Structure 1
């Protein structure tokens, strides 16, 4: 990707090195669902959490950060701010054009180790995730290294796809899709909830593709040869079937929450080829790949 001429997003909060302690603040009797560790992309804490933790506390320690501090200039954070800036500008154009409404961007939080969120305590092991409770995307930038080393999916566009996917969950939140999903999953079995979660995640993949399509139209120099293939390779690398086969030597389809490699590639490509959010209705699709 060519990001030299891209301006950086101002919606980034850098908590790295700030420290984190204490317990998450909740009201008495409130159940806080903790985020489960996952190696998958697109974690929506209210959707795919497999375990829960009961926490009843009185105070929450906030990371010690200075909101007036100059942004860090390490390559990973600069890259992330530039990609997020492009995503913001792209959706600010696409939303009025395709949905006749204004786009409200999320905040992106850089952290290391652990950090408090409105969805519980975020941890590095969870990978990047979106918390609908505070409309923030959370990412430990070490994940870029894991993406390359563990999943064999390196390169700028692979990393940008990760951010765009999480912003896709923010779009679902803006459109009320996540809320409707949550309401439905409470009334169905675990297997049915997992199947719905797959559709939610595949839609976020499709939205990531819609971003890339429209961003490339606005800036024909943005994507370089091989970028699209890089993104599709990444989507294939993090399919539930492939990850389960690698981690446990067998595949359990009823436990899928993000979709197979083929499904993730299909829906990312759907967004990439059409550039149309309306083509990302995974919930109405009879076949997912």
Structure 2
């Protein structure tokens, strides 16, 4: 991805160096959660996300802990482990610039799209943290992976997640990383258009199985919204050879079935809450190919 030298977002809140302790609560929305040894998913898996909102892309992606938050997601990092210590200050600085640039690109795209549909687009803040963080949705550790909190309209990410994504889950590349950010921003869009709030309301009367099924639809829609962002990024001429394949590979690597098979050797379909590898690739690709919100109606379409 040709990102250097482009505008960087000012909506970055750097909390690295400060620590947050406490229990993790279930209110986050959609995240990219990778398994940290078992199956625990509530972020992408969402244990607390608003239904159609955004599946925490990878939080619970892994497995079974129901999504801790509405969403996400999209990683179970092993706290501040060797991976974190391997990230040098220079590397952190470049990654910070990259994240700020990708966030700025999402701002440009979604401001235009939302305005064309009659919606205001209050831009989300992206919080950088290390180890643990406190949000309006509760406290979380790096092991939860990136997540979006509708309560404060902020995306949270520990940058060591990208190393975990590449090294442990074989999803490397800057556009794979951009996909993660765009997925979480997709949850923000869901929050603004009412999908997450509605999911949050409905989930109170749902069984765990019903909640998981709705969570899948929310997460897949966030994937599709990430694809829409990719569509316009390609139109700007910012994609390089292999970028689309990087994003599709990341979507495949964090599918519920792939994550469960890798971490526990077998799959439990009824515990899925982010979508299979095939589903995640399908919906990212649909958004990428169409560039239209209408193409991302995962709530009323076969997934």
The answer to whether the superposition gives a TM-score over 0.5 is yes
Which residue pairs with 2:82 in the alignment? none
| Alpha-carbon distance in structure 2 between the residues aligned to 1:273 and 1:126 | 31
**What are structure 2's unaligned runs of at least 5 residues?**
36-42, 50-59, 69-90
Q: Secondary structure at the match of 1:284?
A: coil
List per-residue Cα deviations over 1:103-142 (Å, max 9, x = no partner).
1110000000011111110210001000111110000000
TM-score of the pair, normalised by structure 2? 0.80
Q: Secondary structure at the match of 1:266?
A: helix
Which residue pairs with 1:224 in the alignment? 240
8 Å contact 1:130–1:138 — kept in the other structure? Answer: yes
| Alpha-carbon distance in structure 1 between the residues aligned to 2:289 and 2:44 | 21
Residue 253 of structure 2, aligned match among 217, 237, 241: 237
Q: Secondary structure at the match of 1:74?
A: helix
8 Å contact 2:102–2:178 — kept in the other structure? Answer: yes
1:33 aligns with 2:26: yes
List per-residue Cα deviations over 1:194-231 (Å, max 9, x = no partner).
000000000000000001102222x22x1001100111
Over 3 Å counting, the alpha-carbon distance change for 1:33 and 1:101 in structure 2 is: closer
Q: Give the superposition deviation at 1:32.
A: 5.1
8 Å contact 1:34–1:121 — kept in the other structure? Answer: no
8 Å contact 1:45–1:131 — kept in the other structure? Answer: no
Over 3 Å counting, the alpha-carbon distance change for 1:95 and 1:37 in structure 2 is: closer
Q: Give the superposition deviation at 1:276.
A: 0.3
Which residue pairs with 1:13 in the alignment? 13
1:262 aligns with 2:278: yes
Q: Secondary structure at the match of 2:226?
A: helix
TM-score of the pair, normalised by structure 1? 0.83
Residue 204 of structure 1, aligned match among 213, 222, 236: 222
Over 3 Å counting, the alpha-carbon distance change for 1:78 and 1:104 in structure 2 is: same
Which residue pairs with 2:76 in the alignment? none
**What are structure 1's unaligned runs of at least 5 residues?**
25-30, 53-71
1:75 aligns with 2:97: no
Which residue pairs with 2:294 in the alignment? 278
| Alpha-carbon distance in structure 1 between the residues aligned to 2:174 and 2:129 | 20
1:99-114 mapped onto 2 (5 Å cutoff) = 99-114=117-132
1:112-127 mapped onto 2 (5 Å cutoff) = 112-127=130-145
| Alpha-carbon distance in structure 2 between the residues aligned to 1:51 and 1:43 | 3
Bigger Rg, which one: 1
| Alpha-carbon distance in structure 2 between the residues aligned to 1:239 and 1:105 | 28
List per-residue Cα deviations over 1:15-64 (Å, max 9, x = no partner).
0012335x58xxxxxx9537799417746562266388xxxxxxxxxxxx
Over 3 Å counting, the alpha-carbon distance change for 1:93 and 1:44 in structure 2 is: farther
| Alpha-carbon distance in structure 1 between the residues aligned to 2:214 and 2:163 | 30
Which residue pairs with 1:96 in the alignment? 115
Residue 153 of structure 2, aligned match among 111, 128, 135: 135
How many residue pairs were aligned?
258
Q: Secondary structure at the match of 2:7?
A: coil
Q: Secondary structure at the match of 1:130?
A: strand
Q: Secondary structure at the match of 2:18?
A: coil
C-alpha RMSD of the superposition:
2.3
Structure of higher RCO (CA pairs closer than 8 Å, 6+ residues apart): 2
1:183 aligns with 2:201: yes
Which residue pairs with 1:252 in the alignment? 268
| Alpha-carbon distance in structure 2 between the residues aligned to 1:95 and 1:37 | 24
